[in-house]
Amino acid sequence: MGNCIYKIQIDQKAQTHDQIEQKIVDEVIKDEIIQTPPLIEPKKILTQNYEVVVQENSDSQTPNVFSSQSSNPQVKYQQDLQLSPDILVRNQKEGEMFSLHYEIIRKLGQGGFGSVYQVKHLKTNLIRAAKVIQKQAIDDEQLLISESQILKDLDHPNIVKILEVFSDAQNIYIITECLCGGELLERVRSITNYNEDIAKYYMQQILSAMVYCHNRKIVHRDLKPENILFDDKDINSNLKIIDFGASEKIISKKLTTKIGTPYFLAPEILGSNGYDEKVDVWSCGVILYILLIGKAPFRGKNQLETLQLAQKAHLSFSGQRWNNISPEAIDLVKHMIQKDPQKRISMKDALNHKWIQNQSKQSIQFDQDFFKEITKFKGYNNLRVAINQFVTVQISKKEEKYKFLQIFKSLDKNGDGLLSQQEILQGMINVKMDKIESKLMVKEIMEKIDTDHSGRVDFTEFLTASIIQEQMFLKESLKSAFRLFDLDGNGTISRIELEEIFGGIQIDNSAWQDILAACDNNKDGLIEEDEFIALLANLE
Mean residue pLDDT of the chain comes to: 81
What are the residues whose beta carbons fall under 8 Å from the beta carbon of 342, sequence distance 6 or more?
Answer: none
Handedness of CA 214, 219, 221, 224 (dihedral sign): negative
Q: Quote the CA–CA distance of 52 and 316 in Å, as a whole number.
A: 32
The vertex-525 CA angle with 524 and 528, nearest 5°, equals: 75
Does residue 347 contact residue 280 with C-beta atoms inside 8 Å?
Answer: yes
- Which pLDDT value is given to residue 64? 36
Q: Measuring CA to CA, how many Å separate 391 from each of 483, 487, 493?
A: 11, 15, 14
Boundary of a domain, candidates 357, 380, 402 = 357
Q: Hey, is 19 helix, strand or coil?
A: helix
Q: Quote the CA–CA distance of 154 and 85 in Å, as a whole number.
A: 7
Same domain, 334 and 213: yes
Handedness of CA 390, 394, 400, 402 (dihedral sign): positive
Does residue 213 contact residue 199 with C-beta atoms inside 8 Å?
Answer: no
Going by their DSSP bridges, the two strands 90-91 and 114-121 should be labelled as: unpaired
Q: Is residue 80 one of the residues assigned to a domain?
A: no
Measured between its terminal Cα atoms, the distance across the chain in Å is: 42
- Which pLDDT value is given to residue 535? 84
Q: Hey, is 528 helix, strand or coil?
A: strand
Same domain, 346 and 392: no
Same domain, 329 and 434: no
Q: Is residue 505 one of the residues assigned to a domain?
A: yes
Same domain, 312 and 375: no
Same domain, 249 and 275: yes
Q: Which segments are annotated as binding site for ATP?
A: 131
Going by their DSSP bridges, the two strands 90-91 and 162-167 should be labelled as: parallel
Among 4-8, 88-92, 341-345, the least confident range: 4-8
Q: Is residue 48 one of the residues assigned to a domain?
A: no
State yes or no: pLDDT of 53 exceeds 80.
Answer: no
- Which pLDDT value is given to residue 362? 66
Q: Is residue 57 one of the residues assigned to a domain?
A: no
Residue type (1 letter), 332: L
Same domain, 287 and 403: no
Question: pLDDT confidence of 511, banded at 50, 70, 90?
Answer: confident
Percentage of the chain lying above the pLDDT 90 cut: 53
Paired strand residues for 164: 90, 175
Q: State mean pLDDT over 293-301.
A: 93
Same domain, 209 and 321: yes
Owning domain of residue 445: 368-536
Q: Quote the CA–CA distance of 117 and 122 in Å, as a whole number.
A: 15
Same domain, 313 and 189: yes
Choose, from 18, 59, 80, 222, the residue flagged as catalytic: 222
* 168 φ, ψ (degrees, to nearest 5): -130, -170
State yes or no: pLDDT of 29 exceeds 60.
Answer: no
Q: Measuring CA to CA, how many Å separate 322 from each of 48, 196, 292?
A: 44, 11, 8
Number of domains, the chain: 2
H helices then E strands: how many in the chain?
Answer: 20, 15
Q: Hey, is 425 helix, strand or coil?
A: helix
* Residue 164 neighbours by CB distance under 10 Å: 20
- Which pLDDT value is given to residue 245? 85
Does residue 348 contact residue 210 with C-beta atoms inside 8 Å?
Answer: no
Q: Hey, is 219 helix, strand or coil?
A: strand
Q: Quote the CA–CA distance of 426 and 418 in Å, as a whole number.
A: 14
* 344 φ, ψ (degrees, to nearest 5): -70, 140
Boundary of a domain, candidates 321, 336, 357 = 357
Q: Is residue 466 one of the residues assigned to a domain?
A: yes
Same domain, 374 and 236: no
Q: Which residue has the higher pLDDT, 92 or 61?
A: 92
Q: Kindly report the pTM of this predicted structure.
A: 0.82
Q: State mean pLDDT over 328-351.
A: 97
Q: Which residue has the higher pLDDT, 360 or 214?
A: 214
Exposed e or buried b for every residue in 209-231, given b needs 16+ CB within 10 A?
Answer: bbbbbbeeebbbbbbbbbbbbbb
Same domain, 416 and 335: no
**242 half-sphere exposure, CB direction, 13 A CA radius:** 28
234 is catalytic: no
Q: State mean pLDDT over 205-234.
A: 95
* Residue 69 neighbours by CB distance under 10 Å: 18
Q: State mean pLDDT over 300-308.
A: 92
Among 51-65, 215-229, 428-442, 491-505, the least confident range: 51-65
C-alpha closest to that of 20 among 11, 9, 32, 30: 11
Among 361-365, 473-477, 516-520, the least confident range: 361-365
Q: Is residue 454 one of the residues assigned to a domain?
A: yes
Q: Is residue 159 one of the residues assigned to a domain?
A: no
Same domain, 338 and 189: yes
State yes or no: pLDDT of 451 exceeds 90.
Answer: no
Q: Is residue 188 one of the residues assigned to a domain?
A: yes
What is the largest distance, in Å, between two alpha-carbon atoms of the chain?
76
- Which pLDDT value is given to residue 86? 66
Residue type (1 letter), 440: L
CATH code of residue 484: 1.10.238.10
Same domain, 519 and 403: yes
Residue type (1 letter), 71: S
Q: Quote the CA–CA distance of 212 and 263 in Å, as a whole number.
A: 24
Does residue 261 contact residue 63 with C-beta atoms inside 8 Å?
Answer: yes
Burial class (CB in 10 A: 0-12, 13-18, 19+), 283: buried
Boundary of a domain, candidates 331, 357, 383 = 357
Q: Measuring CA to CA, how many Å separate 43 from each of 63, 160, 199, 206?
A: 15, 33, 39, 35
Question: pLDDT confidence of 467, banded at 50, 70, 90?
Answer: confident
